[in-house]
Amino acid sequence: MQNFVLHLPTKIIFGRDTIKNIGPETAAFGGRILLVYGSGSIKQNGIYDRVTVSLAQAGLTVIEHPGVKSNPVLSHVREGIRLAKEHKVEAVVAVGGGSVIDSAKAICAGAEVNHDVWLFFKGKKGVKSKLPLTCVLTLAAAGSEMNGGMVITNEETSQKFGTGNQLLKPEVSILDPTATFTVPPSYTAYGAVDAIAHLLEFYFTTSDPATPVQDRFMEGLTINIMESCRKVLTRPDDYQARADLMWCATLALNGLTAAGLGMVGFPMHMIEHSLSALYDVPHGAGLSVVMPAWMKWRAAEAPAKFAQLARRVFAVEEKDQYLAALEGIERLKSWFRESGSPVSLRDLDIPESAIPALADNSMALAAIWRLKEYDSAVVSSILSNCR
Amino acid sequence: MQNFVLHLPTKIIFGRDTIKNIGPETAAFGGRILLVYGSGSIKQNGIYDRVTVSLAQAGLTVIEHPGVKSNPVLSHVREGIRLAKEHKVEAVVAVGGGSVIDSAKAICAGAEVNHDVWLFFKGKKGVKSKLPLTCVLTLAAAGSEMNGGMVITNEETSQKFGTGNQLLKPEVSILDPTATFTVPPSYTAYGAVDAIAHLLEFYFTTSDPATPVQDRFMEGLTINIMESCRKVLTRPDDYQARADLMWCATLALNGLTAAGLGMVGFPMHMIEHSLSALYDVPHGAGLSVVMPAWMKWRAAEAPAKFAQLARRVFAVEEKDQYLAALEGIERLKSWFRESGSPVSLRDLDIPESAIPALADNSMALAAIWRLKEYDSAVVSSILSNCR
């Protein structure tokens, strides 16, 4: 285990009938708020009403900023920052999944500076302060509700970049599993894939070989994500399974799994971001295509950790380390397929001829994230095995 | 999973050479501090020097309050409160294990009120504010460094009571595994037993049958505590194993394992507290005596969860649920024995004739902790199986 600092200041309010807390929890930070949400599904399932009633009862003045897209875009963030400044809001309320929360974080940070918010993503500026942020989560996936990360796509440059800062952690996040009952099967599965990707990125890229405490934690979460997602796909209103899936997704990327791992990388996310940036595929759908190919590529060189996963998570009994590793990867891929998440570029309608452009696109992020062992040829080779 | 609120505001600074941060981290809260520590072992292993140099370099005025005992006593806490008030300290620094940190918490709370601090433990008063608290941990055991609990013994009444409050969570805790290199084998084992007891109390007393996420987390921690403790007992300066053990003990009782479990009980701790109160046995040593007997008693009625533990943690293959449960309990007991922690009242030199008095003593805590199913006869029957 390597040295770490862990600080998890986000207050989590989890469970049934908890959305009514958003008003009083937000009022602690000010009276004028910006309400950020997505395409309007929260108006159909009643969550919008529950949130706005609570905000009104707490006496808050609400400026609305709807319309966050599934791969959230920079122009919309900039517009949110303009609104926040114009109305002098004192806090931001995000109601949605990772895309909405990430947009809200970028607005919270951008509202405090005079330079363009994209400079944070290019690594040219660091976040020094931000508006307070409270969240109502409606999708089990990104983990953004308890961490300091944010991912935004710049439509002008076709760049999907992520960055993070301790300060960006939300002050309060409300997680009501019933808010995810109406998430369609496809996005439920993509969310589960995303959470598993967060776990396995850390699991396989830690620079320290001995992290047995974190390993077992991540293995347990992976098992639970697969089991709960399977139940939810059979019965979308299975409260306990929705609760398990939601909490697992939060725990998968709130800093706990990474604490002690030292430097980790996000190579699978790096490659997937190119798929999202150039073909606007849902993040989780892109990940389930990229992951098995990346894992096979990596396991060929260092099979031990992949064999451990295979044995502990998939109960693979194969003695040979490399064969066990491959068997584990196949079982994960089968679970992706069973869950309705794509497993090949063809499933995403992306032609093989697109591979060089995708690989080139990923190089910008490889540089920013310092993933030095990934050149365009390596990424092309991994992408050509996405089948 | 049941509803929960989780807030983990304690900043954890973990790893080698981190004790030097105690000065600057504490200075954020004020210039006059009370330094609480134990019997002086920190003067032998150099930790005292490292702490006081850092505090001095940060320009802090230090009032010392040494002498916390292994089962910390109320009179010493009251003296600390008197000192804190007399010198108008602005923060408390605890350097030690759970006993020292618990004493410091009680001082932090008691310094803010005019009534006797014992009223908090009797449940007659609630904590409403406290002095800021920073810690340097020197023992992997209690988990007090990241939670809001505290346990103190009232020597006048022979009562060892525990209480807790969200506000009592330390502001900052520094966990340097090298600080535990000089902990003797016995106390290393007792600490590991204590951490396992925290996990298994929750694991077996949750009122909700379905907590698969928390279950796997607790099972993983239990495995890691046993494995790392075994390594440390062979080689006391095995940094990685000390680090694993230290971090597991913190995670075992920082609120994460309990989040979503609903009401849990501490029956094993309740019974053990009588052993400590009447015979001053080390807490972990008492727990390894009580646990197998309590588990057998409980497994007879509800073997399912015990069988799950046996299969997942001890790889027991027995098909019959009750027999599997018993086999798991035996393996845990064997691990206690192997680690040098006692497994019977005889090991503690407590005569069987003491059982009625021990059982009677535990009834006060049973009432405060609302463990209604435990009367004196039940506790006597469990104690008579501690062999």
Chain segment B313-325, per-residue pLDDT in tens: 999 999 999 999 9
CA–CA distance, B144 with B104 (Å, rounded to integer): 10
Q: Does domain B183-383 have CATH number 3.40.50.620?
A: no
Residue B70: predicted pLDDT:
86
Q: Does any CB of chain A come closer than 8 Å to the CB of residue B221?
A: yes
Segment B327-338 shows an average pLDDT of 98
* Res B146 pLDDT > 80: yes
Torsion of CA B350, B351, B355, B360, to 10 degrees: -60
CA–CA distance, B175 with B246 (Å, rounded to integer): 8
Q: Does any CB of chain A come closer than 8 Å to the CB of residue B24?
A: no
Q: What percent of chain A has pLDDT over 70?
A: 100
Q: Which residues contact B53 (CB under 8 A, 6 or more apart)?
A: B23
Q: What percent of chain B has pLDDT over 90?
A: 91
* Res A210 pLDDT > 90: no
Segment B49-66 shows an average pLDDT of 98
| B212/A217 Cβ within 8 A | no
Pick from A217, A247, A259: CB nearest B220 = A217
Pick from B14, B243, B260: CB nearest A14 = B260
User: What rounded mean pLDDT belongs to chain B?
Assistant: 96
Q: How many angstroms away from the CA of B23 is the closest CA of chain A?
A: 16
Contact B325, B306 (CB under 8 A): yes
Report the chain B residue with the minimal C-alpha distance to residue A17: B3
Residues of A in contact with B312 (CB under 8 A): none
pLDDT 10s digits, A19-53: 999 999 999 999 999 999 998 899 999 999 999 99
Assign B5 a pLDDT band (cuts: 50, 70, 90).
very high
- Integer CA distances (angstroms), B253 to A97, B140, B259, in order: 30, 12, 11
Whether pTM exceeds 0.90: yes
CA–CA distance, A371 with A369 (Å, rounded to integer): 6
The DSSP-derived string for B132-151 is: -EEEEE--SSS-GGGSSEEE
Residue A341: predicted pLDDT:
97
Q: Pick the closest to residue B216 from B203, B229, B230 (CA basis).
A: B203
* Res A208 pLDDT > 80: no
Assign B111 a pLDDT band (cuts: 50, 70, 90).
very high
CATH class of A184-384: mainly alpha
pLDDT 10s digits, A232-252: 999 999 999 999 999 999 999
**Run of H or E residues at A49:** helix A47-57
The larger pLDDT score, comparing residue B383 to residue B209, is at B383
Segment B160-185 shows an average pLDDT of 95
Residues of chain B with CATH 1.20.1090.10: 183-383
Segment A124-153 shows an average pLDDT of 96
Strand partners, B91: B33
The three-class DSSP label of residue A159 is: strand
Contact A359, A375 (CB under 8 A): no
Residues of B in contact with A224 (CB under 8 A): 212-213, 216
Segment A341-351 shows an average pLDDT of 97
Contact B191, B284 (CB under 8 A): yes
pLDDT 10s digits, B10-38: 999 999 999 999 999 999 999 999 999 99
Residue A365: predicted pLDDT:
85
Segment A114-139 shows an average pLDDT of 96
Assign A71 a pLDDT band (cuts: 50, 70, 90).
confident
Phi/psi for B9 (5° steps) reads: -75, -10
Residues of chain A with CATH 1.20.1090.10: 184-384
Pick from B212, B220, B247: CB nearest A227 = B212
* Res B208 pLDDT > 90: no
User: Is the complex ipTM higher than 0.90?
Assistant: yes
Contact B108, B92 (CB under 8 A): yes
Q: Which amino acid is at B356?
A: P
Residues of chain B with CATH 3.40.50.1970: 11-179
Angle between helices A212-234 and B212-234 (to 10 degrees): 170
Strand partners, B164: B149
As a CATH number, domain B11-179 is 3.40.50.1970
| B1/A12 Cβ within 8 A | no
Segment A60-71 shows an average pLDDT of 95
CA–CA distance, A248 with A264 (Å, rounded to integer): 20
Strand partners, B160: B153
